[in-house]
Amino acid sequence: MRKICVVITARASFGRVKTVLLAIKNRQDCDLQLIICGSALFDKFGSPVNWIEDDGFEITAKVNTLLEPGQVTAAAKTTGLGIIELSTIFENLRPDIVVTIADRYETMATAIAASYMNIPLAHIQGGEVTGNIDEKVRHAVTKLADLHFVATTAARQRVLKLGESPDKIHLTGCPSIDIAMGISKRNSLTFEPYKLYGGVGEEPDLAQRYLVVLQHPVTTELGNAQSDITCTLEAIKTVNLPTLWFWPNADPGTCGISKGIRTFREANDGLPIHFFRSMRTEHFLELIKNSACLIGNSSTGIREAAYLGVPVVNIGNRQNGRERGQNVVDVTPNTDLIEQAIRHQLNHGPYPPDFLYGKGDAGRQIAQILAEATLTFDKQITF
């Protein structure tokens, strides 16, 4: 039986690969080892631990590696601590292959630990282009990885150009699209957000048109975090539609965004805005599916929202270069431009579904390859 170790480092990571985990768990020839670490263990940033356990997954190990979330020095130290702690976990579990996801700095720790221990490494969502420190991390992990599961044709070409062997690169689509496919026909909410997830602020009527906002820090522009989020807040205030706002992730700069939100709330009591820490991926995507527009800089706007045909206003440089569909309007962090883009999208959506990131079968494909592929951990550049 092949032991497959999947490392979850953030709240979004679980949603990204939930269908992969389910497919691995349901195979008779695989033993799923699930490690939770980094910001995925912090309630402040929406820990998915309870959701993981409620969905029937057994957590093999929890590794507390996150130091002083929101600081650049802490990001480097967290990576170092992650290498130390994950090395011990891998030594004890002795997995046949380790799976890491996307491009967070904790992902780098997973990749380094597995590589130095001669454990084959699989990487999901490599070959993409963005702004932020994520760009460097993603391509560095690609060079450490032995199996690649990419979401788009262009991503596959980039991984090839990085010198990876063609037979190690698998175009599967993005596994989060599997979940989006499951809720694509839900034309009304099947749960009560305020009752189920709490949060703070007004509780506007979601039977009306409403907006969803999720804006993370840009790690290469830390000095602008508070001013950037203030621009978005002021634009939302002017548009004056019911709004569901989600807290940012643990990247450096999150303190500036949090401060901007708190300052705005103190000065603008009574606006139709409700703030959530986080929620299950299925519920979050259902909210987006039934919203009038998604605003911010989350990759959800590029991936799942395109599949769901939801209008998106993408703010700033965090997603620079990432392939996107016609549902996205890009703007700089400027109050007037954000407002104009929102009003434009309110008049032009919804959009036709876009299958750029897959059609909803990635989880099964990835699990099958992980179970059946010939595993190696030594490689040479191919050009």
Q: What pLDDT digit, counting tens, does each position of 89-139 carry?
A: 999 999 999 999 999 888 999 999 999 999 999 999 999 999 888 999 999
**SS3 call for 179:** helix
Banded model confidence at residue 44, pLDDT cuts 50, 70, 90? confident
**CA atoms of 195 and 206, how far apart (whole Å):** 13
Token pair, residue 206, equals 């979601």
Rounded to the nearest 5°, which phi and psi values hold at 294?
-105, 130
Does the pLDDT value for residue 68 go beyond 80? no
**CA atoms of 102 and 124, how far apart (whole Å):** 6
> For 226, what's the count of Cα atoms within 13 Å in the CB-facing half-sphere?
10
Structure confidence by residue, pLDDT tens digits, 3-33: 999 999 887 889 899 999 999 999 999 999 9
What are the start and end residues of each CATH 3.40.50.2000 domain in the chain? Answer: 2-172+361-372, 185-348
Token pair, residue 202, equals 């007004």
Question: Is 380:358 a contact under the CB 8 Å cutoff?
Answer: no
Span of 33-42, 44-53, 287-296 with lowest mean pLDDT: 44-53
Does the pLDDT value for residue 45 go beyond 80? no
Does the pLDDT value for residue 71 go beyond 80? no
| DSSP label of 316 | S
Structure confidence by residue, pLDDT tens digits, 54-67: 999 999 999 988 88
Q: Give residues with Cβ within 8 angstroms of 318, minimum separation 6.
A: 130, 131, 132, 216, 218, 297
Structure confidence by residue, pLDDT tens digits, 218-269: 988 889 999 999 999 999 999 999 999 999 988 888 899 999 999 999 999 8
**CA atoms of 365 and 15, how far apart (whole Å):** 17
Of 174 and 45, which is predicted with more confidence?
174
Does the pLDDT value for residue 350 go beyond 90? yes
Rounded to the nearest 5°, which phi and psi values hold at 212?
-125, 135
Structure confidence by residue, pLDDT tens digits, 270-321: 999 999 999 999 999 999 999 999 999 999 999 999 999 999 999 999 999 9
Give the pLDDT score at 72.
84
Token pair, residue 294, equals 């998604």
Q: Which CATH number describes the domain made up of 2-172+361-372? A: 3.40.50.2000
Give the pLDDT score at 241.
98
Give the pLDDT score at 70.
66
Segment holding 21, helix H or strand E: helix 11-25
**CA atoms of 103 and 140, how far apart (whole Å):** 9
Banded model confidence at residue 215, pLDDT cuts 50, 70, 90? very high
Give the pLDDT score at 48.
87
Q: Which CATH number describes the domain made up of 185-348? A: 3.40.50.2000
Give the pLDDT score at 99.
98
Structure confidence by residue, pLDDT tens digits, 160-200: 999 999 999 999 999 999 999 999 989 999 999 999 999 99
Give the pLDDT score at 251.
86
The residue among 322, 383, 299 whose CA lies nearest residue 154 is 322
**SS3 call for 104:** coil
Give the pLDDT score at 339.
98
How does 333-358 read in b/e, with b if 16+ C-beta sit within 10 Å?
A: bbbebbbebbeebbeebebebbebbb
Give the pLDDT score at 85.
96
**SS3 call for 171:** strand
Q: CA 297, 303, 308, 310: dihedral to nearest 10 degrees?
A: 20
Per the prediction, the chain carries an average pLDDT of: 95
Give the pLDDT score at 69.
67
Q: Where are the beta strands (DSSP E) in the chain?
A: 2-8, 30-37, 61-63, 97-101, 121-124, 147-150, 169-171, 200-201, 211-214, 243-246, 273-276, 293-296, 312-315, 328-331
